[in-house]
Amino acid sequence: MKIVSIFLLSNLYSICLQAADIQGVVTDSSNTPIVGVNITMRTLEGTQVMEGTQSLSDGTFILKGVNPGNYTLVCTHIGYADYIAEVQVNKEASLSLGTLIMSPQSVQLKGVTVSIRRNVFTADKQAIYPSKQQTETSGGGLDLLQKLPIPLLDINPFNRTIGSLDPSGGVAILINDIPADANEVAVLDPKQIRYVEVVRKPGMRYGDQLAMAINIVLKQARNGISLGMNTTNSILFKRGNNNIFATYIRDKSQFSINQNEDYQNYSRQESEELRQYLLPNNSWHKIEQQSLLTRTLSATHGTTLKYNFTQPNNFVFQVQGYITSHRTPKLKKSFLVRETGKSDYIYHTHNRDEYNSNALNLYFKKYLPNKQVLMFNAVGTSINSDYDYRYNQEDNGFQTSYGVEGKKSSVIGEARYSKDFEWGSLTSGIHSFYEHTKNHYTSSASNEGKMINISSKAYVQLDGRWGKFSGSANLAIEDQYYKQQSDRYHKQMFSPSGKLNYDINQRLSLGYDFNLASRLPALSSMNNTAYQIDQWERRMGNSGLKPFNHIEHSLTLAYYNQKCYAMLQGVYAYNKNAIMPTLTRTEEENEHVFFDNGVGNQRNFKQLVLTAYLRYTLFQNKLVLSGTGSYIHYHADSELYNNRRGFFFGNLGVESYLGKLYLSANIRSRYNALHAESIWYNEYASSLSAMYKWKNYQLGLVWEQPLQSTGTNSSVITTNNVVRKMLYQRNPEAGNHILLTFSWRWDHGLKSKAQDVELDNKDTNAGILK
């Protein structure tokens, strides 16, 4: 009997250690605390009450001793609509739900339960539950993702682009932990999106050089079929992004196809350029040129086929194929030139750019006992490229041409092991990459370049939480090998990174991140070749480029409540021996002078970015105001130059929800940047949009650059001791530009069944010098 008692006591003690406290505060829409709210924690099915309590006079409540798991939180009170939300509780991690706002009973329809979903914060990630009005006014996944409060996530659903305003890196997009691209997200049914997970500085589990990982979690799968389309086109057919898709699920299998057709069709782009070259005799040679004709026509076709077989809690197998082709049948330009010592003349350029890419992605994941998982992934890619450039002056003047036929094949493999513990998780793996590139160049003399690149990385990542602290530690050892003819390098790299977060209170948090990584040269820059652009300039590859070290520190302060989301972030990055452009003067033996555009390992490149983000909602979330402001300081240092510049950047947005109608307005300043000897003054942008959704149809109008007949403009200024260049570009066709968006879907019981694929190793770099 004594032994049984001791056994029971020890198990009770173990359960108490794992249990968590759930706390929050309940208010009405005017932020007045509500006393006496019945708060229960139930099973997801809602059939069994696990814990319960009532709110106090100040609206606060605590649910003590909640065991780890997924629950449904239900808040009820006479005169108010029921508040229902899904909550995830982790081991040894108290959870703060923040402020829960209950609406008056009058907003509840007879026989209908109002389910108010809100952001839920767990120990290691943020889960954002889309509101009903966000879902009902969205025609696809990108529309919905744009409406969510995700600081520094830069989404354009009309151009199918997903990016980051965080200088730490890019964005990994996943659907049910399956890597996805913008076209796949665009065709998602917003009604099937359960919630969105946001992981900042996600470490090595999702890939390298990432500022955040976005995982879109869909509702439970069942048998069904879905057909539909999602299109965005200029009413003058200047550009378009179009998707047609179909998905079929039966039992444990899912098959899907997604066809995307994108195009550009511009004929009125304008440019002016001023170039001054310092000759060996210390005289400046001046060239002014103005565009007479610019014609751009391009098309991209993409087909994605995917089959997934999932045995729940046992294994996942997925095979995915990609077929992509790009054609630029027309890229023609003509210029009028005024040049020192010469009569005015006209020259023409013509580019032809084509590539075909095929890829096969095999994935397998096996679930093991004791919360262990093994994953294997292999991706094979083949890319064929064909690029031509021609330059010729009228009246039998100077002519030059350049061409490259490229063939690249690569294999990427990864094996990973992970295990969950009470204090967090452990992830370790091996990632290997092999590529072979063969490029045949034709210009004044033919040249053939063969490159072999082999990279291997072993890594381990620990994630954990203790009290109000949470964080992760990452360690990777890399081996990098590159060979091109007699040029080669072989380098080993030690890459640690980590982050530490502290929850000051239930609304305010502070985080610090550190990262040391090796950055590889771009494959296209390492071609051992050169070609002549015009009479004065050449483009040079550099097979002697070496990897360089990237060191980064960032500090983030975030505040969140039901109406306001604010974030302050500072990032400092130091790149030792960074690869940056060069523009130098070369004197040939025949006394001809060239100015060569190349790249090389320079001393260092430093960057400081200070960013503020604010999102505020009014009138019960019917009106949303948001904005981002940044100050960016650059310092580029080499033996050739030492340049420093700072720039401000900002954008503002207003959203309004009026039933089935969604209105938005956005304005964005130029995102200016200094890189080496050049300053880029990028385009400013503004837009007004209106979207109306009826049943499974959505129709929308987007007015880009309203009332701006001159369109958009940008410029690049390059200055050093031998060259002064200014390029000014305008696109009148972008002014007063109207896009028409349309989406439609028909589905029967479709919800995402594929699960737990956690990486995308697809290779998209052609590796040719253009």
Q: Which two tokens stand for residue 525?
A: 């820059």
pLDDT at 49 over 80: no
Q: What is the mean pLDDT of residues 90-106?
A: 71
pLDDT at 424 over 90: no
pLDDT digits (tens, 9 = 90+) for 270-313: 999 999 999 999 999 999 999 998 989 999 999 999 998 988 77
Q: What is the mean pLDDT of residues 126-146?
A: 87
What lies within 8 Å, CB to CB, of 102 at 6+ separation is: 26, 27, 28, 34, 37, 75, 77, 80, 81, 83, 116
- Which pLDDT belongs to residue 114? 35
pLDDT-derived band at 668 (thresholds 50, 70, 90) equals very high
CB burial readout 260-289, b (16+ within 10 A) else e: bebbebbeebbbebebbbbeeeeeeeebbb
Q: Which two tokens stand for residue 385?
A: 């490229």
What lies within 8 Å, CB to CB, of 490 at 6+ separation is: 479, 480, 481, 482
Report CA-CA distances (Å) from 511 to 94, 201, 396, 506, 537. 18, 10, 65, 14, 48
Q: Tell me how long the chain is.
A: 770
pLDDT at 349 over 60: yes
Q: What is the mean pLDDT of residues 82-111?
A: 67
Q: How far apart are the first and last CA of the chain?
A: 82
pLDDT digits (tens, 9 = 90+) for 551-583: 999 999 999 887 898 999 999 999 999 999 999
pLDDT digits (tens, 9 = 90+) for 191-211: 888 889 888 888 777 777 888
* Highest mean predicted confidence (pLDDT) among 54-58, 108-112, 415-419: 415-419
Q: Which two tokens stand for residue 326?
A: 């790009």
Question: What stretches of 659-736 adopt beta strand conformation (E)?
Answer: 661-668, 672-675, 678-681, 685-694, 697-704, 712-719, 723-731
State phi, psi for 16 to the nearest 5 degrees: -65, -35
- Which pLDDT belongs to residue 637? 94
Q: Which two tokens stand for residue 305?
A: 């086929």
The Cα 68–Cα 53 span in angstroms is 18
pLDDT digits (tens, 9 = 90+) for 606-635: 999 999 999 999 998 899 999 999 999 999
pLDDT digits (tens, 9 = 90+) for 139-154: 889 999 999 988 888 9
- Which pLDDT belongs to residue 755? 38
pLDDT at 46 over 70: no
Asked if residues 608 and 551 have their Cβ atoms less than 8 Å apart, the reply is no
**Structural domains of the chain, with CATH:** 1-116 (2.60.40.10), 118-219 (2.170.130.10)
Instruction: Point out the least confidently predicted range of 14-23, 44-53, 749-758.
Output: 749-758
Asked if residues 551 and 495 have their Cβ atoms less than 8 Å apart, the reply is no
- Which pLDDT belongs to residue 92? 54
The Cα 35–Cα 52 span in angstroms is 15
**What is the DSSP code (8-state) at residue 724?**
E
- Which pLDDT belongs to residue 233? 96
- Which pLDDT belongs to residue 761? 52
pLDDT: is 86 or 574 the higher one?
574
Neighbours of 344 (CB within 10 A): 9
The Cα 244–Cα 184 span in angstroms is 10
How many alpha carbons fall within 13 Å on the CB side of residue 408? 28
pLDDT digits (tens, 9 = 90+) for 231-277: 999 999 999 999 999 989 888 888 999 999 999 999 988 999 999 99
pLDDT: is 443 or 193 the higher one?
193
pLDDT: is 105 or 322 the higher one?
322
Position 518: which residue type?
S
Report the mean per-residue pLDDT for the chain. 85
- Which pLDDT belongs to residue 222? 67
Asked if residues 381 and 358 have their Cβ atoms less than 8 Å apart, the reply is yes
Q: What is the mean pLDDT of residues 110-127?
A: 46
pLDDT: is 118 or 652 the higher one?
652
Asked if residues 330 and 354 have their Cβ atoms less than 8 Å apart, the reply is no
pLDDT at 735 over 80: yes
- Which pLDDT belongs to residue 333? 92
Percent of the chain with pLDDT over 70: 90
pTM of the complete model beyond 0.75: yes
> What is the Cα Rg of the chain in Å?
29
- Which pLDDT belongs to residue 45? 60
CB burial readout 111-148, b (16+ within 10 A) else e: eeebebbbbbbbbbbbbbbbbebbbebbbbbbbbbbbb
Position 13: which residue type?
Y
Q: Residue for token digits 């509780």?
A: 89
pLDDT at 108 over 60: no
**What is the DSSP code (8-state) at residue 363?**
E
Q: Which two tokens stand for residue 197?
A: 């997970």
Q: What is the mean pLDDT of residues 478-487?
A: 84
pLDDT at 756 over 80: no
